[in-house]
């Protein structure tokens, strides 16, 4: 895990021995559970460190404060980026949302094993929880590494962001055209693309981008639409 310590340090994040032990336990649980259910195609340790752990911590490149905000991780899967962020920044309050209950059960096992507090894993679809008062526009930041077009992803995620908060999607490579094509939808949903931050994971050739989408006004109540519509009929 010294590899992770060095990569985190390159981002300006100092990880303690205890935090590295938590990452080690997380890795071991991930690989073991992956033998019986599909959590990740990446299991080699250095690749997990680079492509999952360090990549998750790259949120700090967005320039937002990570000193105690409330974050929602949509489509968290095996817990990325939410659990690495929680380990590195224990004061964050994090909610992990995923549509597959088997993953949620695994995440709860990880949370218990690592002794993490102020973190919750919930099972459900993004379009359903976004209609509930306790979740709608209640988060400082919403993050997602889900592979989806930005227009579609924004419809699922922006309704959760409180006014003056941020939606911070992780993307691969050059996404300027995708970002340009999503501007109208983002505006309709109450947001504005404030910045596009592109970088490489330290000591790798992994090109990554984080968009900084500022929530400037409330999302109209009709969004998100019911399951399937955002993909079949994107806002345009």
pLDDT 10s digits, 51-85:
999 999 999 999 999 999 999 999 999 999 999 99
pLDDT at 173: 77
Per the annotation, where are the binding residues?
75, 80, 126-127, 145
pLDDT at 51: 97
The C-alpha atoms of residue 188 and residue 158 are separated, in whole angstroms, by 10
Element spanning 195, H or E: strand 191-200
Strands 207-215 and 139-144: unpaired
The C-alpha atoms of residue 24 and residue 104 are separated, in whole angstroms, by 20
Element spanning 197, H or E: strand 191-200
CB atoms within 10 A of CB 15: 21
Sign, CA torsion 90/132/148/34: positive
Domain boundaries in the chain? 1-235
pLDDT at 112: 98
Give the predicted TM-score (pTM) of the model: 0.97
Q: Which residues of the chain have pLDDT under 50?
A: none
Question: H helices of 89-226, where?
Answer: 101-114, 126-129, 150-157, 176-188
Per the annotation, where are the binding residues for S-adenosyl-L-methionine?
75, 80, 126-127, 145
Superfamily of domain 1-235: Vaccinia Virus protein VP39 (3.40.50.150)
pLDDT at 69: 98
pLDDT at 40: 96
């Amino acid at each position: 895990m010294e590899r992770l310590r060095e990569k985190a340090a390159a981002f300006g994040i100092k990880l303690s021995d205890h935090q590295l032990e938590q990452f080690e336990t997380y890795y071991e649980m991930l690989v073991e559970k992956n033998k019986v259910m599909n959590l990740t195609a990446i299991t080699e340790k250095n690749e997990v460190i680079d492509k999952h752990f360090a990549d998750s911590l790259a949120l700090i490149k967005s320039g937002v404060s990570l000193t105690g905000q409330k974050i929602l991780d949509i489509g968290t899967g095996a817990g990325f980026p939410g659990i690495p962020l929680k380990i590195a920044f224990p004061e964050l309050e994090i909610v992990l949302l995923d549509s597959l209950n088997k993953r949620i059960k695994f995440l709860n096992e990880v949370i218990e094993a690592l002794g993490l507090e102020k973190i919750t894993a919930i099972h459900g679809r993004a379009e359903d929880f976004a209609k509930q008062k306790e979740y709608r526009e209640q988060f400082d930041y919403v993050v997602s590494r889900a592979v989806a077009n930005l227009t579609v992803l924004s419809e699922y995620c922006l309704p959760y962001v409180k006014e003056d908060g941020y939606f911070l999607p992780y993307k691969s490579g050059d996404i300027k055209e995708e970002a340009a094509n999503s501007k109208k939808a983002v505006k309709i949903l109450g947001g504005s693309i404030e910045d596009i931050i592109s970088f490489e994971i330290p000591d790798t050739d992994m090109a990554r981008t984080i968009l900084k989408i500022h929530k400037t006004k409330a999302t109209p109540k009709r969004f998100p639409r019911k399951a399937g519509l955002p993909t079949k009929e994107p806002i345009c």
